[in-house]
Structure 1
Amino acid sequence: MGKKPYYQSIIDTLQSVDRPGNYVSGGIISMPLPALLLSDQPSSILGLPLCECHIKRVIEHASRAPFGMGEKTIVDTSVRCTWQLNPSQFTINNPKWEKSMHTLLTRLKTELGCDEKMAITCELYKLLLYEPGGFFKRHRDTEKARNMFGTLVIQLPSDYEGGQLTVSHSGKETEFSFGGSDACGNIFFAAFYADCEHEIKPITKGHRLCLVYNLLYSDAGECPVPPDNTSHVSSIVSAMEAWTKNVGSKTCPKMMSYMLEHQYCEASLSFRLLKNTDRAVADVLVQAKARVDFNIFVGNVHLTEYWEASHCGYDDYSADELYNEELCAKNLKSIDGKRIPSVDFPKKYLVPEDFFSGIDPDDENFQEATGNEGATLDKQYRWAALLLWPVKKRTVMVDQSTSEPPAKKQKVKCSTSSACGTSSKDNSKE
């Protein structure tokens, strides 16, 4: 008999998650001021936030921003009420701006879940100015350029209130509130896929100034689409509910240690700092936890193997036969910062169970033969993992810091049927 169906379902689901990312990304960002110049006044930089005289100058040169409706482009201030300048009407005069944009695009490629090998660029589309009462009703962007897959909005320092940006996709919604006291001295950004619905709520006070870019993918790649892990989350929820219902039965697995792709030092190991697919897997579990309660921690799994060994000459030795091993996860951290010192568990709860068989040890300690004791070799491994188990089982898995130290190990030879489970063929029953 193999693993329980609900247990195997969690494994299969997590292994099918192939990329991180979200349909939207945004927040405050450190960038230089662009040094905006109106084309007909190339010697006078627009100060930010805009003063009253500069607001008037921008509006004098601007036109009402239209919106797309099918094949038509329409101006209707009951749907969209804002001013626009085309790129030919202004200039970005700070040479450092382009470098900052390159840095931002590198970040967006990760946060929007684009293929790592794909090159993405941006194309300046408009400069927008929102007055009090300005807004843009819920809509989807039309593809305004070849290979366009998304929109990037960079809000320049502005003195305004209201004007929240909401972005939604596949039943999810994210709201950005970039107005208020922080808006005057900071630059904010929001980037999202072109098929996302979004709106700008009415400006209640002041003026909002922003640059809008089209996000473009290279001809060599396919059009990026928003990562959608909705089905993965639902599968985890169903499987975790089944696992929780089976807690208490003799065959119910106590936990799972899902091994990550990347290795992390203790200082950088947290949910926030996970990379690439590791972050995508964690995101799925975090979203599932919002719907069904279970324990999830990130930590480093430590494996120590104890081998009978032989001295093969000067500074050389060989591992002959494994006689014992210890497996323990240490310094576990939860999503909200809760910590657990350590968790001991058998190898059958590793996913995959033979994970350490293809990894070189982080450290080795050879002990010469003494008296009646033969030579021994200790191999130590460390790798990051996500550990999860049903809420009802948390007290079973947690070691107490006051527990007694382990007794001296006895040499008990391991086999494919032993408790050590060193062989990748060890199909321990769940």
Structure 2
Amino acid sequence: MTKRKAKSTRSPSPIFDINVLQNMLKARNDIFTLDDYGDDFSNSDDYNSDSDDWMDEGLSYDGPTDPVLRPCDLVAEKLLPAEKNIKKRMSDVLELSGFDGEFWSGGKLHSDYMMPSIEMLDEESGTYRLLPLPIVYEEQVNDLIRSSMNAGEKNLWKLIEPKKFRITNPKWDVLMQELLNRIKPELGILKEKKIDISLYRMVLYEKESHFDFQADIEPNAIGSIVIQLPSLYAGGDFVMVNGNTEKKFEFQKEATYSPYYMTCYSNNFTQKSDIITSGHVLSLVYSLKYSGTEKIAPYTSTQQLKDMQQVIETWIKAPMYSKLCYILENEYDNNSFTSSSLKGNDAIAFKQFSKLDHTVVHLGFLEKREFSEFNSDISAITEMTYSFQNNVGETLVSIVEEEVFPENRRKQMPVATQKKREDFDVGGLEIERRYKSACILVYPKKLKSLCKPKKDFLNKLLEDYKDKKTDKRKHLLMAYTSSLVGCAEDKRGKTTNGLDIPKVLEACLLVNYLPLSLKFVEKMWLADGFTEESTTSATKLIKQHGAGNFKPLFIHYLDQMSFESYTFSNRVFSIGTMILELNEESWLDLFIPKVLSISLRLELLEPKSVLLILSFKEKYPACSAKIDQFIDLYTKSEMRNTAFSSDESKINAQVIIKLNLPSLCGVLCARLVHSKQEINLNVLQEIVAVTKHFGIQVLEECLNAIVEDMLVYPLRQRIEAYTRLAGGESDEAKHFASKILSSIIRKFDNTSEDPSEECAQLLTFCRKNDKITEEMSIAKVLVEKITKAKHGHSLVQKLIKENGTECFWTGSGLRLVLEHCYKLLYTAASNVNIPIDFDLGVDSTSEWVFKHVKIKCKCNHCKSVKKFLKSNEMEFSFKEKKDARTHVETILNGIEDIKRETIKHGSPQTLKLTKIRTTLEAKKAIVTSAETVLKQYIEYATKSDQKPHARPASESVSSSTTDPPTKKVKQ
């Protein structure tokens, strides 16, 4: 075969090699057999078993029973600005329940703080000497401390330079960090505020001196921590004063063997101190520093209420929740649950909520209903629903998962009840669990109507807002829409079933609020992936808010979907269309590599997806190299996988012509006959199209190979392929059709039970389309191949049904068929051992009572057989034990007119009895009917012979076939 140069600007590819196709088809035929589509149970022991004691056994499920949940890694929520994350802000404030800071704090420390292991620097020798604790003796002060300190007023000694001593305890820094974390709540400093701690100085107080904490605070520090090391002294009590608040500190009682601490802010306090009457006090002073711009002050319950009110105001201005359900820390009795029974932080939280303005608060119980189905053959699923009932059992409100917080408490709700139901037929299990926790339901007063929405509420809110665009109506629409598009861990929370996407889209466009649009787009992409509906809806919202806001969302779900090559291949078109519509080249740079990542399964791509990707090359020249890489991988994928999975390939003529690669024509041809089950008739016109483009000569050998391969398929499918093509107008279609018809005639398939339907269809097509030559050729092969009167009679009846009784023209192919079927029926009716096992279609032939078969046995089994023989039924299933079946077979042995067949499926097995007319005695009952049918055949021929205007043109029919048909038939 000569090679033909491709018209494309790409490097030329060789045209399709017929050897490649033959090898692919041979490989497929060698690999795929009918046995591949199911096990052959007929040879198994279970199938052939004939035990009378056999019965179905129930199947019990013994697999896992934990609920099937998948946490939602939601991107839209992470993209929310901190100030708009209502649940997070509310949780942060509620975590501070009971958090009421003061200006100072102090107390005894753990024994770990007794030994900082301080070493003093001797400046004369330049060495360090260990300072033993506690400070008890004057010698300790004189020998180790004073030499390193400068004298101050009133016997107060201060270490000016911290470098004159060192702390060698390796755990000391960790202990100080732990102490800082402890005192932050005591001072009312929020945990997110990063406070730095650093050593400022060491101070020694002696007899007749007094504590002066204000003097110990480093400039620019927000406060200090004073660690009083073990010391023996008396006196020195002090009082801290802030406005009308005072607090007295007494550390000297156990000071010898216990460390203490005192911490305070750098301002807003005064101090009243007693003098130290005896002994010494050694302390380490640490500075507290904050690098933020806001002022650090004690966080009090009053400030907590203000912060919570700010959260509510933010919620009201941009409501992304219609309500929120806060699960309490403690468990409570359902019968005695009131606000007075609340404990600890629960009581504080309820008190805070109750003081909020513009807010409705209910105390009650949250119930979670969890329904799980488990089966050994299918994946387990779980669905969850939430509802709230107040503490007096009056109000029942439906809740969605995202309205419940904190998340850890929602997941740890205690089980109240559990029910199980096993399905022994399939080995399945159903479990219904109900969980219950005390909670607080809270929502802004403006959103009260959303707690119990009416039917079709979204549509009402939409119409109300379009009628009059007020803030209140906008907020109601926003909050309710948000509750509809929330995601959850169970199956129901990851689907859009029941969600009116067009209405939700309309609401999002009207509200024009980015967080809501992000949430809706994520709901669609999480539940459905990049379907055409989801990407079309998303495109409108992305255009409204800007592609940059949605890019993190796109990256996340594109990464997730690309791991599932089959699903991703079905979404390539919708994703590409969205990118093209948005004109986002940066998104294309992310998308094309994901397409290339499924290089081994590119044949799964829809043709429209391939054509779309090719169009990117024209619109975005910068991506040409990647598109060329895609074309190369796509071509290789199609060629490599066709021999083994051509039923998965979706390539069509448009793609092949666009690529101008005749080498892919073989892949398309292989799609026509992709399996042992049926011919892919939709590919016929595709093959015609590429034949037109590349020429019949190029595809000739390919068509010959495909026609040969079609011979393994049923006659019905090959006839349908022929009629589809023969009805076309192009030369290429007619050329292909002629090859298929030639193969049908050359190898007529008569293996089916009754080929009359297909044969009548083929002959009728030829008659109605004036294909006289083809009709004659088909008729001749039918005369040769149809050997059963049953099939012949059926064919004549179907030809009459399709064409009328006057269809048997003199000299036509149908006339040959009529004469042949007459002979078959006459021979069967007049000869022994040629069975007639069908109705002749005459009223009298419906009588299948076999009076000539005599059975003398009077047992119950034989009585049932006798009843069958006297009935009009043609078949009887005798499903009894083996001994009974053997007995009946013995009784019927030698009776030729009863066909016996054992059906081995089931237990006990079945003896199938079928009436057939084989002997002349059996045929006596239908002599009249057979004569009637034969006369009808003659009548059909006579009528058609009397209508010469209906005959074919004389030049198209030989003189031997123009003789009157009745002449030969009557003889």
What's the TM-score once normalised by structure 2's chain length? 0.26
Letter in 2 for 1:380: Y
- Distance of 1:92 and 1:179 partners within structure 2: 24
Contact 1:319 1:377 in 2 (8 A): no
Provide the C-alpha distance between the structure 2 equivalents of 1:176 and 1:133, rounded to a whole number of angstroms: 18
The count of aligned residue pairs is 297
Amino acid at match of 2:434: K
* One-letter code aligned to 1:33: M
Q: CA 1:215–1:310 in 2, change beyond 3 Å: closer, same or farther?
A: closer
1:361-380 mapped onto 2 (5 Å cutoff): 362=413, 365-368=418-421, 377-380=432-435
Q: Which residue of 2 aligns with 1:56?
A: 142
> In structure 1, what is the equivalent of residue 287 of structure 2?
214
Q: What's the secondary structure of 2:247's corresponding residue?
A: strand
Which position in structure 2 is the counterpart of 1:192? 264
Amino acid at match of 1:54: Q
Match of 1:47 among 126, 132, 140: 132
Q: Say if 2:420 and 2:431, in contact at 8 Å, map to a contact too.
A: yes
Q: Residue by residue, what CA displacement relative to the aligned partner does 1:158-198 show, whole Å, maximum 9, x if unpaired?
A: 11232224333343222221111x21112111111111425
CA distance in 2, matches of 1:187, 1:108: 16
Provide the secondary structure at the position in 2 that maps to 1:47: coil
RMSD: 5.2
How much has 1:355 moved relative to structure 2?
10
2-side partners of 1:126 and 1:155: how far apart? 12
CA 1:191/1:306 → structure 2, altered by over 3 Å: closer, same or farther? same
| 2:239 aligned with 1:166 | yes
Give 2:196's aligned residue. 121
1:382 to 428, 433, 437: 437
Residue in 1 that maps onto 2:168: 93
Q: Against the structure 1 CA distance between its residues 127 and 384, is the aligned structure 2 distance closer, same or farther, given a 3 Å change threshold? A: farther
Q: Give the AA of the match of 2:237.
A: Q
d(CA) in 1 for partners of 2:195 and 2:402? 35
Number of the residue aligned with 1:82: 156
Q: Which one-letter code corresponds to 2:159 in the other structure?
A: L
| Match in the other structure for 1:24 | 104
Query: Do 2:190 and 2:299's aligned partners in 1 also have CA atoms closer than 8 Å?
Result: no
* Paired AA for residue 37 in structure 1: E
How far off is 1:91 after superposition?
2.3
Q: Decide which structure has the larger Cα Rg and report it.
A: 2
Does structure 2 conserve the Cα–Cα contact (< 8 Å) formed by 1:35 and 1:92? yes
Q: Residue 225 of structure 2 is aligned with which of 126, 144, 152?
A: 152
The aligned residue for residue 560 of structure 2 is: none
For 1:62 and 1:201, the matched residues in 2 are separated by 24
How many angstroms apart in 2 are the aligned matches of 1:144 and 1:116?
A: 23
Question: Does residue 134 of structure 1 match 2:219?
Answer: no
User: Which residue type is aligned with residue 207 of structure 1?
Assistant: H
- Correspondence 1:149-298 to 2 at 5 A: 149-180=222-253, 182-199=254-271, 200-218=273-291, 220=292, 222-229=294-301, 263=329, 271=344, 281=348
> Offset of 1:27 from its aligned partner?
1.7
SS at match of 2:183: helix
In 1: Cα distance, 2:199 partner to 2:142 partner: 23
Q: Contact 2:201/2:285 (CA < 8 Å) preserved in 1?
A: yes
Determine the C-alpha separation between the residues in 2 that align with 1:15 and 1:106: 17
Cα displacement (A) at 1:215: 0.9
Shift of 1:151: 0.9
Q: Is the 8 A contact 1:304 1:378 kept in 2?
A: no
Question: What SS does structure 2 have at the residue aligned with 1:55?
Answer: helix
Amino acid aligned to 1:227 = Y
Give the whole-Å Cα distance in 1 for the aligned partners of 2:105 and 2:199: 18
CA contact (8 A) 1:167 1:196 kept: no
Percent identical residues: 24
1:7: which partner in 2? Answer: none
Assess, with a 3 A threshold, how the Cα gap between structure 1 residues 363 and 122 changes in structure 2: closer, same or farther: closer
Contact 1:35–1:93 (8 Å) recurs in 2? yes
Secondary structure of the structure 1 residue equivalent to 2:223: strand
- How many Å separate the matches in 1 of 2:302 and 2:219? 30
Change over 3 Å in CA distance of 1:312–1:226 after alignment to 2: same
Higher helix content, 1 or 2:
2
Instruction: Work out whether residues 118 and 221 of structure 1, in 8 Å CA contact, stay in contact via their aligned partners in 2.
Output: no
What do the CA deviations read for 1:346-385 (whole angstroms, capped 9, x no partner)? 577x9x9x9975664625634559xxxxx99552133678
Distance 1:25 1:145 in 2: 20
Q: In structure 2, what is the Cα distance between the partners aligned to 1:95 and 1:382?
A: 46
1:225-274 CA-to-partner distances (Å, cap 9, x unmatched) read: 222445779xxxxxxxxxxxxxxxxxxxxxxxx9578x5799xx974xx6
**Structure with the largest fraction of strand:** 1
What amino acid is the match of 2:102?
N
CA distance in 2, matches of 1:301, 1:201: 54
Pick the aligned partner of 1:37 from 98, 116, 119: 119
CA 1:63–1:384: 2 relative to 1, 3 Å: farther
Higher relative CO (Cα under 8 Å, sequence separation at least 6) belongs to 1
> How big is the shift at 1:36?
2.0
Where 1:135 maps in the other structure, the secondary structure is coil
Contact 1:193-1:226 within 8 A present in 2 as well: no
Question: How far apart in 2 are the matches of 1:88 and 1:321?
Answer: 63
Structure 2 unmatched runs, 5+:
1-90, 306-324, 333-341, 353-362, 423-429, 441-450, 454-478, 481-971
- Residues 59-100 of structure 1: CA distance to partner in whole angstroms, max 9, x if unpaired? 4543344xxxxxxxxx5x4xxx62211213322232322222
2:545 paired residue number: none
> Which residue identity lines up with residue 218 of structure 2 in the other structure?
K
Distance 1:89 1:270, change over 3 A: farther
Residues 97-124 of structure 1: CA deviation (Å, up to 9, x unaligned):
2222222223233432334333322222
- Structure 1 unaligned runs (5+)? 1-13, 66-74, 234-257, 286-299, 328-343, 370-374, 386-414, 418-423, 426-430
Contact (CA 8 Å) 2:108, 2:259: kept in 1 or not?
A: yes
CA distance in 2, matches of 1:230, 1:202: 37
Equivalent residue of 2:218, what SS?
coil
- 1-structure distance, mates of 2:303, 2:184: 23
Q: For the structure 1 residues 319 and 119, does the alpha-carbon distance in structure 2 shift closer, same or farther, using more than 3 Å as the test?
A: closer
Q: One-letter code of the match for 1:152?
A: I
User: Judging changes above 3 Å, is the alpha-carbon distance between structure 1 residues 22 and 366 closer, same or farther for their aligned structure 2 residues?
Assistant: farther
2:180 aligned with 1:105: yes
Aligned in 2, Cα 1:44/1:195: closer, same or farther, shift over 3 Å? Answer: same
Which one-letter code corresponds to 1:53 in the other structure? E
Deviations 1:278-321 (A, max 9, x none): 89x57x98xxxxxxxxxxxxxx98644679x8979786565689
**Deviation of residue 157 (structure 1)?**
0.4
Structure 2 SS opposite 1:44? strand
Distance in 2, matches of 1:115 and 1:231, equals 12
